Amino acid sequence: MDYRWYESLDVRLYGSFGLLMHWPKLEQAVMLAFARAIPTEDPKERVIGYNLSLAPRKVKNATPHDLGAPNEHPWERSNYTAYQDCNLWKDLGSDFVLLVYRDFLLLPDADGEFLGEC
C-alpha cells in the first residue's frame, strides 16, 4: 500500500469537488473532522524519513496533513505521514481555509454554525 493515510489535505484541495457535488454531507463531515484535529496535540517524537530527524507527530494548532491511517485509529490520530515533518508545512492552513470557504459558499446547508465549528 503506497498511500496509507486518509484524507490527505494537500491532495484533497484538488480532488474533493466530486465529494462536494455528490455527497455534500460527507464533505462537510470531513472538513469538520479536520477542524476538530487542528487543536489536538500528539507530542510523541518519531523519525522523519526525509532527513532522519526527530519531530513530534502533531503540534497543537497546526493543521494536520491527514486524518490518520487504517492501521491506527483514524480521525483520532492525525498526521500519520512521517516522510516529512508536515507540522512545518506552510500551505496546509491556507488549504484548509480555502476548502472551508468553498464549502460555505457551495454546500446547500452550510451556515454560520459550520464556519464557527471550522
Which one-letter amino acid corresponds to residue 47?
V
Smallest CA-to-CA distance from 9 within 77, 112, 116, 86 is with 86
Q: What angle do CA 110, 63, 95 make, to 5 degrees?
A: 60
Q: The pTM is what?
A: 0.92
Neighbours of 1 (CB within 10 A): 6
Q: Domain locations in the chain?
A: 9-108
What string of pLDDT tens digits covers the 118 residues of the chain? Answer: 567 789 999 999 999 999 999 999 999 999 999 999 999 999 999 999 889 999 999 999 999 999 999 888 888 899 988 889 999 999 999 999 999 999 999 988 878 888 999 9
User: Residue 107 gets which letter from DSSP?
Assistant: S
The C-alpha cell 492552513 sits at 93
- CB contact at 8 A, 19 and 7: no
d(C-alpha 9, C-alpha 12), whole Å: 5
